[in-house]
Amino acid sequence: MSKILFVLTGVDHWTLADGTKHPTGFWAEEVVAPYEAFTAAGHEVVVATPGGVVPTVDAGSLAPEVNGGREGADEVAAALASIGEIQHPIRLEDVRPADYDAVFYPGGHGPMEDLAVNATSGKVLADTLRSGKPLGVVCHGPAALLAATDADGSNVFAGRKVAAFTNAEETQAGLAEKAKWLLETRLVEAGVDVQVGEPWVPHVVVDGNLVTGQNPSSSAPLAAELLKKLG
């Protein structure tokens, strides 16, 4: 059995360019699908957030229209409610990456607010990447990669191939024009090699021990790739 660290956003909003706070948090499917895959395989999951706050689910991620209808939405909500670890997160500040066999970052717009500028999270990501242990990041989770920098300011993930929520998807979601910055653009500016797939279609990129997914529908296939690496 392996121990897998889930690092979730600790905020319930994303501050837009005009200063308004867009309600958000983590995206349900991006936690539920990997959690179910890992625990079904016999692995243990530990949830961490900045400050150890209980994370907030983005209410939009529980809507029927993003879960294939009311039945799917009810299933996701029930599955999420059954994950006790979410109600008892540890403090990200207390995490020792060496204690875990793999690390996973789900998305939701929350990471755009806090993990994108969280140096503790950035060190967890850098240490995990360099350790060779499986590292999975999906959708808006790659915002956290922006905080993984070396002493000279260069990004640890520069030159690495990743998938992340695209500018096209942000535009189609109706938030691109309201955002202070766009994830795909900022990653490219940091030297990360963003591999863009079709909007909303599962798209997973594997680069060594780094496994990334573009959008919510990439969560389950990403988890499958991480399980392969865990053996």
Structure confidence by residue, pLDDT tens digits, 185-198: 999 999 999 999 99
DSSP state of 4: E
pLDDT score for 174 = 97
The residue type of 220 is A
Q: Output the 3-class SS for 83-116.
A: CHHHHCCEEHHHCCHHHCCEEEECCCCHHHHCHH
Q: What is the mean pLDDT of residues 170-189?
A: 98
pLDDT band at residue 135 under the 50/70/90 scheme = very high
Residue percentage of the chain with pLDDT more than 90: 100
Sheet holding 90-91, edge to edge: 90-91, 44-49, 3-7, 102-105, 135-138, 210-213, 204-207
DSSP assignment string, 7-22 = E----SEEE-TTS-EE
Print burial letters for 123-140: b (CB count within 10 Å at least 16), e (below 16): bbbbbbbeeebbbbbbbb
Whole-number Cα distances in Å, 74 to 29, 62, 68, 78: 12, 8, 10, 6
Quote the Cα angle for 213-160-222, to 5°.
20
pLDDT band at residue 33 under the 50/70/90 scheme = very high
* CA pair distance 161, 45, nearest whole angstrom: 26
Structure confidence by residue, pLDDT tens digits, 67-119: 999 999 999 999 999 999 999 999 999 999 999 999 999 999 999 999 999 99
pLDDT score for 17 = 98
